[in-house]
């Protein structure tokens, strides 16, 4: 089944892989939805605040909407608007006024700003979550970022430790390094800090073969925390399973 589009800048692209895939000469977008009637990819400026284009994905194959945008580069900020039925009683809550995150995005920028605009229904309405909210949520939403994930491993060998010799050490990137005396302040709380020899050496000396990290993907700060001036330490409210949390990537 093909969906028509008036956006002549798009090519049909491919239904896989899902998400935004940079090919070297553009970006392929593929979004799964069994019940959507239209899917748009909205492009934003570098600050993620101003929408500069909105492309309707032209093709629909095996319940995947897809399209290819020639010339689009890594670093592009984007979000999704998905059209379809708003029938909460049937489990359908499509609302194109709400900017959605690509569940397969490999990077995000910005943070969610909690407010009634981010909900698909009107908070406080007599009909509760059966109501329909038409306010634009884009100013309150983080944006997805196109990433060039092509990587040549060259001669790097995978570490292969037999299971009967594997010893795990579970830790938290930020918690383990924020007050570590051997980690320069600039690197504390980051992957770069955790990767330093002064940090990994003592762990290795314990006989540990593998370090298992507590959640490192993009996660939310819940309202009941932000209202108290607190943040989500553990990171279990994930909103991007393929995107590393930017808070752990700061530093040089």
The string of pLDDT tens digits covering residues 55-64 is: 999 999 999 9
pLDDT number for residue 9: 76
Residue 57: DSSP 8-state: P
Q: Is the pLDDT of residue 1 over 80?
A: no
Q: Is the pLDDT of residue 177 over 60?
A: yes
pLDDT number for residue 4: 36
User: Cα dist. 181→110, 176, 184, 188 in Å?
Assistant: 30, 11, 8, 10
The string of pLDDT tens digits covering residues 190-243 is: 999 999 999 999 999 999 999 999 999 999 999 999 999 999 999 999 999 999
Average pLDDT of span 32-47: 98
Q: Is the pLDDT of residue 87 over 80?
A: yes
- Structure tokens that stand for 174 in this block: 């930020």
Q: Is the pLDDT of residue 6 over 80?
A: no
Closest CA to 142 of 108, 118, 102: 108
pLDDT, averaged across the chain:
93
User: Please, which residues have CB within 8 angstroms of residue 233's CB and are 6 or more apart in sequence?
Assistant: 172, 174, 175
CB 190 within 8 A of CB 250: yes
Average pLDDT of span 84-90: 96
pLDDT-derived band of residue 47, with 50, 70 and 90 as boundaries? very high
Average pLDDT of span 127-149: 97
**Backbone φ/ψ region at 27: left (φ over 0), alpha (ψ -120 to 50), beta:** beta
Closest CA to 178 of 244, 116, 231: 231
Please report the domains of the chain, with CATH numbers, ordered by start residue: 19-145 (2.60.40.10), 163-248 (no CATH)
Distance (Å, whole) CA 20 – CA 27: 6
Residue 201: DSSP 8-state: H
Cis peptide bond N-terminal to 104, omega within 30: no
User: Please, which residues have CB within 8 angstroms of residue 166's CB and are 6 or more apart in sequence?
Assistant: 209, 210
Q: Based on C-alpha coordinates, what's the Rg of the chain?
A: 21
DSSP β-bridge partners for residue 101: none
pLDDT number for residue 124: 95
CB 28 within 8 A of CB 75: no
The model's pTM? 0.89
Closest CA to 100 of 115, 79, 84, 86: 79
The string of pLDDT tens digits covering residues 152-169 is: 777 777 788 999 999 999
Portion of the chain with pLDDT greater than 90, in percent: 89
pLDDT number for residue 193: 94
Residue 29: exposure state from Cβ atoms within 10 A (0-12, 13-18, ≥19):
buried
- Count Cβ neighbours within 10 Å for each residue of 136-173 and write b for 16 or more, e otherwise: ebbebbbbbbbbeeeeeeeeeeeeeeeeeeeeebebbb
Residue 135: DSSP 8-state: S
């Amino acid at each position: 089944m093909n969906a028509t589009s008036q956006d002549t800048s798009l090519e049909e692209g491919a239904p896989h892989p899902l998400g935004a895939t940079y090919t070297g000469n553009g970006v392929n977008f593929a979004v799964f939805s069994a019940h959507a009637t239209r899917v748009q990819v909205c492009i934003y400026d570098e600050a993620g605040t101003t929408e500069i284009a909105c492309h309707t994905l032209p093709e629909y194959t095996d319940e995947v909407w897809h399209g290819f945008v020639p010339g689009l580069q890594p670093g592009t900020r984007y979000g999704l608007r998905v059209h379809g039925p708003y029938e909460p009683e049937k489990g359908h809550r499509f609302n194109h006024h709400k900017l959605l995150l690509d569940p397969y995005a490999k990077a995000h920028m910005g943070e969610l700003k909690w407010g009634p605009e981010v909900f698909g229904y009107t908070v406080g309405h007599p009909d509760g979550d059966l109501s329909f909210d038409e306010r634009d949520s884009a100013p309150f939403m983080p944006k997805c970022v196109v990433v060039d994930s092509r990587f040549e491993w060259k001669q790097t060998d995978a570490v292969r430790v037999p299971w009967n010799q594997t010893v795990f050490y579970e830790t938290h990137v930020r918690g383990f390094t924020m007050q570590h005396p051997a980690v320069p302040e600039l690197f504390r709380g980051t992957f770069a800090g955790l990767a330093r020899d002064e940090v990994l050496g003592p762990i290795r000396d314990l006989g540990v073969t593998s370090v298992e990290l507590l959640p490192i993907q993009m996660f939310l700060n819940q309202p009941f925390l932000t209202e108290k001036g607190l943040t989500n330490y553990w990171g279990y409210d994930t909103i991007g399973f393929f995107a590393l949390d930017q808070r752990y990537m700061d530093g040089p």
